[in-house]
Amino acid sequence: MNMKRLIDMKKLLIVCVAALVCASSLVSCKKSAKDAAKAENDNTPLTVWVYDNGRINVLTEIGKKFEEEYGVPVQISLVDLGQIRTQFLLASGGADCADVAIIPHDNLGSFVENASVVPIDLGDKKDKFLPAAVSGFTYNGQVYGVPLSVENIGFFYNTDMMKEPPATWDDFASVGEKLVKDGKAEVICSLPDATYNSYPVYQSFGGEIFGKKSDGSYDPDQIKIADEGFVTGLTFLTNLVKKGLIPQTIDWDSAHVLFENGKAPFCFTGPWALNRFKTAGVHYAIAPFPAAKQGGEHGAPFLGVQGMIISAASKHQLLASAFALDFVATDENMKAIFDAEQRPSAWKSVFDSAEDSDTKGFNAAGANAIPMPSIPAMGYVWDSWVNAAALSFSGQKTPAEALANAKVQIETQIKNGK
């Protein structure tokens, strides 16, 4: 046997042995991880806090299966979201806290900054979640939650007034204005607010609130609320207000009443409005938001993501991870969670299998949705944004002046930390 062939055979042998060792290690690691999780059992239950009751029964059933395998009972409790926030933030100081909690992702930033939660490795299940849902629970490049559901608003239009939704915001304005002139509507729409629900308008014209760091996370030092895209969006809305096609007064309930009474052809709202629209008997459909120009990208709403986080103060972090990833995050249980409370699922296969028209509509409207910034600085944005819109709608300032003023206010609050 020549030397080259001998060397090649040795290399092959090394590769085979390495592969066997690696495979053995993976099995061993998996087993040891489970053993380690079980070793955390100190005869106290794994506690899970949920801030709405729609999922409690299904999570309780999942908890029973977890107890059968791990010998650890799971205690599911309904806890107010405000209390969850308070207790998690105080947990580093020794306060009582659950092992696991379900939260909206936009609460995540303060938890991470306060070292109240631990990163979660989604492993090979990461690709089973919607990428935007994972992005929502990603902070400074690390994942801190197991996504359960996503939520976004949709573009409602009255199907008695039109067969198809407008493709662009100019179409939205012209179709609505004609209906008003013909006496078929009182206004184009009323805005539930000029911020969250109206964000698709600003976004479609290129508006964004924060710039991003190189790792893709939001940068509080890059406030873009006064940039051209945002100004263009506010200018569009202000012009409709000046024409009397959108009421100057912003009122959440009035926006819905006008739509459900057939006095406005459009409404920007979310799943929470479905029951009232159905009760009112208004004929509607839900579509993606219009684009800034023909053939352009649809306006993107904010995306809210609900998911499970693990407390940094928990003594049962491995058990908590096993419950969230091995028991909750499965095809069967994610479908059961969706069936129990039909918010669009963060689990791809369940999300894609939506059959009813409302869920399909919201899913289509949220196809390009943008996770709400979860950095603490976002908390300083809302009031300044509201004030800017009010100043612009009333004519006290131009859209550019109002947003420039808002940017200064936000920067000052971030700097002062209050």
User: How far is it, in rounded angstroms, from Cα 120 to Cα 22?
Assistant: 23
Write down the pTM of the prediction.
0.84
How confident is residue 94, by pLDDT bands cut at 50, 70 and 90? low
Handedness of CA 275, 278, 282, 286 (dihedral sign): positive
Strands 284-287 and 266-269: unpaired
User: How far is it, in rounded angstroms, from Cα 197 to Cα 208?
Assistant: 14
Q: Does domain 43-151+304-365 have CATH number 3.40.190.10?
A: yes
How confident is residue 40, by pLDDT bands cut at 50, 70 and 90? low
Q: Match 């909206």 to its residue by tokens.
A: 104
Cβ neighbours for 12, distance < 8 A, ≥ 6 positions apart? none
Q: What is the DSSP letter of 378?
A: G
Q: What is the mean pLDDT of residues 289-294?
A: 97
How confident is residue 5, by pLDDT bands cut at 50, 70 and 90? very low
Q: What is the pLDDT of residues 61-81, one digit of tens each?
A: 999 999 999 999 999 999 999
pLDDT of residue 160: 97
Task: Record the tokens describing residue 303, joined without a space.
Answer: 């995306």
Q: What is the pLDDT of residues 266-281, one digit of tens each?
A: 999 999 899 999 999 9
Q: Report, in angstroms and rounded to the nearest whole number, the Rg of the chain calculated over CA atoms.
A: 25
Q: What is the pLDDT of residues 6-24, one digit of tens each?
A: 334 433 333 333 333 333 3
Q: What is the pLDDT of residues 190-249, one digit of tens each?
A: 999 999 999 999 999 999 999 999 888 899 999 999 999 999 999 999 999 999 999 999
CA atoms within 13 A on the CB side of 9: 6
Rounded to 5 degrees, what are φ and ψ at 156? -85, 135
- Burial pattern 51-78, b for ≥16 Cβ within 10 A else e, equals beeebbebbeebbeebeeebebebebee
Q: Please check whether residue 343 is in contact with residue 265, taking contact to mean a CB–CB distance below 8 angstroms.
A: no
Q: What is the pLDDT of residues 361-406, one digit of tens each?
A: 999 999 999 999 999 999 999 999 999 999 999 999 999 999 999 9
DSSP H/E element including 74: strand 74-78
User: How far is it, in rounded angstroms, from Cα 293 to Cα 169?
Assistant: 8
116 closest CA partner among 97, 134, 133: 97
Q: Is the pLDDT of residue 328 over 90?
A: yes
Q: What is the mean pLDDT of residues 316-338?
A: 96
CA 165-240-184 angle, to 5 degrees, is 55
Task: Record the tokens describing residue 342, joined without a space.
Answer: 């039909």
Q: What is the pLDDT of residues 159-205, one digit of tens each?
A: 999 999 999 999 999 999 999 999 999 999 999 999 999 999 999 99
pLDDT of residue 92: 61
Q: What is the pLDDT of residues 114-169, one digit of tens each?
A: 999 999 999 999 999 999 999 999 999 999 999 999 999 999 999 999 999 999 99
Q: Maximum Cα–Cα distance for the chain, whole Å? A: 96
Where, residue-wise, is CATH 3.40.190.10 in the chain? 43-151+304-365, 154-300+375-416
CATH class as words, domain 154-300+375-416? alpha beta
347 closest CA partner among 130, 74, 173: 130
202 closest CA partner among 16, 5, 385: 385
DSSP H/E element including 323: none
Give the other-Cβ count within 10 Å of 216's Cβ.
10
Q: What is the pLDDT of residues 333-369, one digit of tens each?
A: 999 999 998 789 999 999 999 888 999 999 999 999 9
